[in-house]
Each structure stands twice: as structure tokens, then as C-alpha cells.
Amino acid sequence: MTVARRPLMRRVAIHLGLLPFLIFALFPFYHMTLTSLKQDRELYDRFAVPLIITQGPTLEHYTKLIWDTEFLTWTKNSLMVTILATAISVVIGTIAAYALARMRFFGVGAFGTGIFVTYLVPTSLLFLPLAQVVNWIGLADSKWALVLTYPTFLVPFCTWLLMGYFRTVPKEVEECAMVDGATRVQALLRIVLPIAIPGLVCAILFAFTLSWNEFIYALTFTSSSDQITASVGVTSELIRGDIYFWGSLMAGAVLGSVPIVILYVFFLDYYVSGLTAGAVK
Amino acid sequence: MAAVRADEIPVPRGRPRPVARLRTWLDRESVLGPVLVTPAMLLLVLLVAYPFVMALYFSLSNAFIGRPSHFIGIRNFVHLWDSDAFRQTFQNAFVFTGIAVAFKVVLGIILALLLNEQLWFKRMIRGAVLLPWVIPTALSTLGWWWMFNSLYSVVNWTGLALGLMDPPGPNWLGQRYYAMAAVIIVNVWRGLPFFAITILAGLVAIPKEIYEAAHADGAGANARFWHITLPMLKPVLAVVVLFSTIFTFSDFNIVYVLTHGGPINSTHLFATLSRMLVIDVGRLGEGAAVSLYLFPLLVFVVWAQLRFVRKHAN
């Protein structure tokens, strides 16, 4: 019996060991959601137990957020910027990655290194001069500035990720098509891309997540209530003066995360594989 | 075997039409390659390289928002050292990065080892572990801000309830060392998934036979960890640490939302200080100089990564 029991004990011990990590990872989300559902009098009762709701849940913070603030506009802005920036970046990244992975031409090595270097440049290094560039182009305080600048970090990322995927597609498949008279572009569109669909899904998911989560550019390049994104709106417009509406603030943080959580639940495996590919490949 | 390329396919007899000729010309690698990378290249030159040169210029000038600027050499870089705020920031950046990355490495290895075991709800557990990394940092940091609130802190409530703290508990965001601790905790919380999942990928790649052989030779669990697992993980660890160092060093979101650099500059990092100098005070030149202090580290990381990647590729 001991032989059968030992692995079970070990398994239980492993799960117990994981417990603190899971609590650490999930508690902030639990607490955020809980706070957003509490009534004000319980929320600001210093003697109430903060870990549960005892006086009944309420949606009042959510209705206040949606009707009394510009939250829906911010979310719309976020969606527009994210979708456009993702689409632009994935297209530019795909063709660049294909060229880098498959072709030999003048300057290909230098360009590959350039992509890798910009992949490592943090956004907080360049946001000041980029703000000046955005001003000159005439996009100051406009969400279009974000559509224009987000590709600066998305394209290197997508290119790097997709290069890895394209290299795994066997060259012979493509060469067969070209012997049959297809051009390179046709071979890319009809042969390589369909095989590399998991990579494309990964690139789209990560580009979407990275631009939805972007904060420093959005905070610096936009400020009017009708131009800002959800993250900036919740962190700056809901905190004006010294009175914080914690319930609505947490409701905003929860709702602002919803699109990413939905994607995440459906595409978890892609997130896991993309995360490791981005760093290890 | 040499592949038959499209441009070597014999052209049909007679004069090819211009469209067809353009197509064959475009299909050459030496033409199509540059065409395909042009959009990306334009983007990087106009919106990365050019702004970078501008940042260099600003940092060497006395630029002030809304005023003409003059070249003043490296005076900004030197003058910054006279400012307490900058010296404090410089120190903060190393303390913050050093402690946060160390915690992420150690906890990341432990978490990856646990995740590598037989688990009952493998997918769900992995999903939960990775969650802090996908949620918008600015928004999840708001949640932490509330958890560290001076009056209603749930952290303090729990600490008091468990008897770990003396009432009323620390004022997390109002005292300098606690504020730094808070910022580090949130950074570790947000960065740990990346470490754990990447290290896990490295663990999975270690061949089982090595462990079996070591086991047969009588190596205990400890010996196996120090003599097999850790040395085999070294390449993955190197990449993850380099990667994380640059992004921890240049962190903005967490500090901006949680403390705004306070109390009295004790949690400012280069990114938050430079934004404050430029946006709140208007000193473009000094702000640019502050953010360029990130650059030497970036150069080192890029150099190390490139060397490493090359070595790995061969």
C-alpha cells in the first residue's frame, strides 16, 4: 500500500506548496472584484471584515461608472486603437518576418539585428521625443497618435515571434509550389501562412494584449476625455482631487480588464507558448 | 540540391507583357526582400531611430517646453548629480531592480519546479499563475493601491488578524522603505508568471535520461537540483534575467500608479522622474538626460543577448 500512497502524498504536498503562489496571484483580482460589488457603507466601515461581503452586493458602482463617467468612450477608444494597431503591426511584421526568415538580400543581417534591438528598447526610453514627433505631425492629444506609435513596439515583437514560426515551415513545401509556377508572394499567402496559423494567432493575441495594456504612451500623448484609453481614463479621470470613489475605481479596473480576460480564457495555450517563444527563441 | 527559383523558370516565347515582366522582376529575392521589409524599416527609422537621435539632442541642450533651445554639451548629465532627486532615483533604480529580479528568479524557479510536477488541474493552475501578467498593469496596480490604502488596507487587516503586525500596521505608501517594498512586491507579482512559465519551458526540455542516470548513481533530490537542473537551466535563466532586468529597470506603470515616485522621491525610477521633469516642470533637456541613463544598461543587455543568441545558434 505504501507504494501506491507515496505518490499521492507527494501530489498533495505539491498542491499545498502551490497554494501560496495561487493566493498571491489571484487575491488582488478577488479583492478588486469584491470591492467593486460592496455597498459604500460596508466599504468604508473600518471594523467590517474586508475579505467577504456581509451586507449584500450591489451593482451601483458599475452603473455609476457607466452612466456618470465617460468610461464607455474610453473603452471604445481602447478598442479602436488596439484593433487598428494590431492589424497594422501583424501585417507589417508578417511580411518582414518572412523576408528575414527566408530570403537573402543586401542588409538582411543588419535589419534582423535592428529588429532585435528595438524589441528590447523599453517604451519609457523614447516617450519624450516621440511626444514631440506626434506634436509635429499634428496628432497631439489624439488617439490616432497611439495608432501610429504602438506599432513601434508591436512590429519588432511580431516580427521576432513570426520569424521563429516561419523557420519551422519546411522550405521544400514552398519550393514545390514555386516549381509549379507560383511566385514568392503566392507561396507566402497560400502555403506558408496557412501552416503558420498558430504563430499568427499568437502574434495577434500578444499584439492585442500589449496594446490594450499600454499605458505610458497613452498617458503622455492623449489627455482629453474623448481621446484617452480605458487604462488612462480609469487611473486619471476617476482620481481627481482627494476624494476617491474606490467602488467605481475598482469597477473600472475590473471592466477594463474584461476584454483581455475573455481572450485569455479562450486562448490560454497560445499565451503560454507565445510567452516562452518570445523569450527563448 | 539547388532549388529551382521562380526567376529561373524559362519565360514563354515572344515578348512578355510589361505586367508579367514586373512580376518576375519583383519575384527576385534581391528585390522582393527589401520591398517586404520596407514598411517595418520606415517605421523603425522614423519612429524609433529618429526619436532616439532627438532624445540625444534634447539631452545635450537646455530645451524647455515652449522655448528655443541651445546646445550646452553634457552639462545636463553632470548637473543631475547635484540634484538629490536624481541621486535618490539612481539608487532606487538599482535597489528596485536588484531585489525584484532576485525574488523573481528564486520564486520563479520554485514555482516552475512545482508546476513541472503531476498536477490535478494543470491547465487551470497554469492559467491562474499567468493571469497577473496579462491584465493591464495600470489597472491591476490600482487594485494593489487600494490593498495598501492607509485606512482600509486589507494587507494590514490580514497581518493584524494573524498577529503578524502591531496595530495600526505600516502606512505602506507613506513611509519610504515600506513604499519601496510595496513597489517591489507589485513588480514581483506581475513579473513572476513570465519567469515561472519560461523556466518551466526550460525544465521540460531537460532530457529525463539524465535524471534517471543520476538517480541510478544514487544522487539525492538536492544533488540532482544543484548538479543537473540548475546547470541545465542556465541558458534559459540568462535570457530571462537579462530580459527582465531591462524591463524592471525601465518600469513606469507600477511606480506611477502606486506612489507617483513618493514619498519624497524614495520610489522614483528613471522613467517616472523624467516624465515628472518634462510634463510637470517642462525641463525637456534634463528629462531626456534622465531617461538616457537607461541607455548604457540597454546597450549591455543587447550586447549580452546578441552574444548569447549567436553562441546558441552555432
- For chain B, give the mean pLDDT: 86
Q: What angle do CA A102, A98, A167 make, to 5 degrees?
A: 60
Decide if B204 touches A, using CB distance below 8 A: no
Confidence of residue B313 (pLDDT cuts 50, 70, 90): low
- Residue A3: all three cell numbers together: 507504494
Taking CB atoms and an 8 Å limit, are B23 and A26 in contact across chains?
Answer: no
Cβ atoms within 10 Å of B299's Cβ, excluding its own: 11
Using an 8 Å Cβ cutoff, are A253 and B143 in contact?
yes
- Following DSSP, what letter does each residue of B81-141 receive, concatenated? GG-HHHHHHHHHHHHHHHHHHHHHHHHHHHHHHHHTS--TTHHHHHHHHHHHHHS-HHHHH
Q: What is the pLDDT of residue A245?
A: 82
- Residue B306: all three cell numbers together: 546578441
Q: If chain A, 281 residues long, is cut into consecutive pieces of 10 residues, what is the mean pLDDT of each piece?
A: 67 92 94 90 80 85 89 94 96 94 86 87 88 90 94 93 86 81 82 88 92 93 91 85 79 92 88 69 39
Cβ atoms within 10 Å of B184's Cβ, excluding its own: 21
pLDDT at B5 over 80: no
B159-191 residue pLDDT tens: 888 888 887 788 888 888 999 999 999 999 999
Residue type, B264: I
Decide if A3 touches B, using CB distance below 8 A: no
Q: How far is CA A115 from each of CA A118, A155, A197, B53, rounded to the nearest angstrom?
A: 5, 8, 22, 17
Cα separation of B275 and B294, whole Å?
Answer: 14
Name A189's bridge partners: none
B15-66 residue pLDDT tens: 567 777 777 777 787 888 888 899 999 999 999 999 999 888 888 888 777 6
Name A38's bridge partners: A57
What ipTM is given for this predicted complex? Answer: 0.90
pLDDT at B2 over 50: no
Taking CB atoms and an 8 Å limit, are A268 and B284 in contact across chains?
Answer: no
For A233, residues 6+ apart whose C-beta sits below 8 A from its C-beta are A69, A70, A71, A73, A74, A225, A252
- Residue B98: all three cell numbers together: 536588484
Using an 8 Å Cβ cutoff, are A234 and B142 in contact?
yes
Taking CB atoms and an 8 Å limit, are A29 and B131 in contact across chains?
Answer: yes
Cα separation of B200 and B143, whole Å?
Answer: 28
Give the residue among B89, B49, B250 at the shortest CA–CA distance from A215.
Answer: B250
Choose which CATH entry (3.40.50.720, 2.40.50.100, 1.10.10.10, 1.10.3720.10) describes domain B84-282+289-313.
Answer: 1.10.3720.10
- According to CATH, the superfamily of the domain at A63-280 is MetI-like (1.10.3720.10)
Q: What is the pLDDT of residue A188?
A: 84
Q: State the DSSP code for A39.
A: -
Cα separation of A263 and A82, whole Å?
Answer: 13
Taking CB atoms and an 8 Å limit, are A272 and B130 in contact across chains?
Answer: yes
Between B51, B198, B305, which is nearest A276 by CB? B198
Domain boundaries, chain B: 84-282+289-313
Beta-carbon contacts below 8 Å between A and B: 302
Q: What is the pLDDT of residue A1?
A: 43
Cα separation of B21 and B11, whole Å?
Answer: 9
Q: Looking at the complex, report in whole angstroms how far the Cα of residue A280 sits from the nearest Cα belonging to chain B.
A: 7
Q: What is the pLDDT of residue A2?
A: 46
* A155: chain B residues, CB-CB within 8 Å: 40, 43-44
Q: What is the pLDDT of residue A252?
A: 93
Taking CB atoms and an 8 Å limit, are A260 and B123 in contact across chains?
Answer: no
B128-145 residue pLDDT tens: 999 999 999 999 999 999
Q: Looking at the complex, report in whole angstroms how far the Cα of residue B212 sits from the nearest Cα belonging to chain A.
A: 17
Q: Report the SS3 class of residue B61.
A: strand
Between B107, B123, B139, which is nearest A253 by CB? B139
Q: Report the SS3 class of residue B67.
A: strand
Taking CB atoms and an 8 Å limit, are B140 and A257 in contact across chains?
Answer: yes
- Cis bond before residue B168 (omega within 30° of 0): yes
Between A120, A122, A128, which is nearest B274 by CB? A128
Between B5, B200, B298, which is nearest A120 by CB? B298
Taking CB atoms and an 8 Å limit, are A124 and B291 in contact across chains?
Answer: yes
Q: What is the pLDDT of residue B135?
A: 93
Q: What is the pLDDT of residue B152?
A: 84
Taking CB atoms and an 8 Å limit, are A25 and B193 in contact across chains?
Answer: yes
Q: What is the pLDDT of residue A196?
A: 87
Cα separation of A253 and B142, whole Å?
Answer: 7
Cα separation of B268 and B81, whole Å?
Answer: 15
Q: What is the pLDDT of residue B294?
A: 87
Interface of B with A in 115-144 (CB under 8 A): 115, 117-120, 123, 125-140, 142-144
